[in-house]
Amino acid sequence: MIRIGLGKDVHRLVPGRPFLVGGIAIPSDRGELGHSDGDVLAHALTDALLGAAGLGDIGELFPPTQERWKDANSMELLKTAWGKVQKEGWRILNIDGVVTCEKPKILPYRDSIRSSLATVLGIPVNSVFIKGKTNEKLDAIGAGDAVEALVVCLLEK
């Protein structure tokens, strides 16, 4: 059996926070505002994996209403969610994601992001691909006020 999962996340960018993408801190004057560390790509991937396995979503597993998840490391949340998915007998065939922001540019960090995700998930780096896009100065993302991630994954059981 194979299943496709889709995850999406968006965060406002604010001063005084790190800009995290897939566990990699990218130099920027602003970072993601969130209850956890705000890693938009880790959040979208977590939702994709949980959704493909039919195990809910990140908000159910790690509710933002619970203080224990305040400033949580999103890569650790991803690892925990992936453990639940694996317990159900699933394995990852591939992951494909898009991070959309005007700046900073994602391309110079793409290989590091891919390696970071692959390491946390225990899969080959060639099973993970990430693209960086802009929003051509349209809406909040295009104005540089937000970042968005979309991720699809293919699981097999």
Domains of the chain and CATH, by start = 2-156 (3.30.1330.50)
Residue 46 scores a pLDDT above 90 = yes
Confidence of residue 41 (pLDDT cuts 50, 70, 90): very high
The mean pLDDT value for 55-63 works out to 92
What b/e string do you get for 122-149 counting C-beta neighbours within 10 Å, with b at 16 or more?
A: ebeeebbebebeebeeeeebeebebbbb
Q: How confident is the model at residue 145 (pLDDT cuts 50, 70, 90)?
A: very high
User: pTM (2 decimals)?
Assistant: 0.96
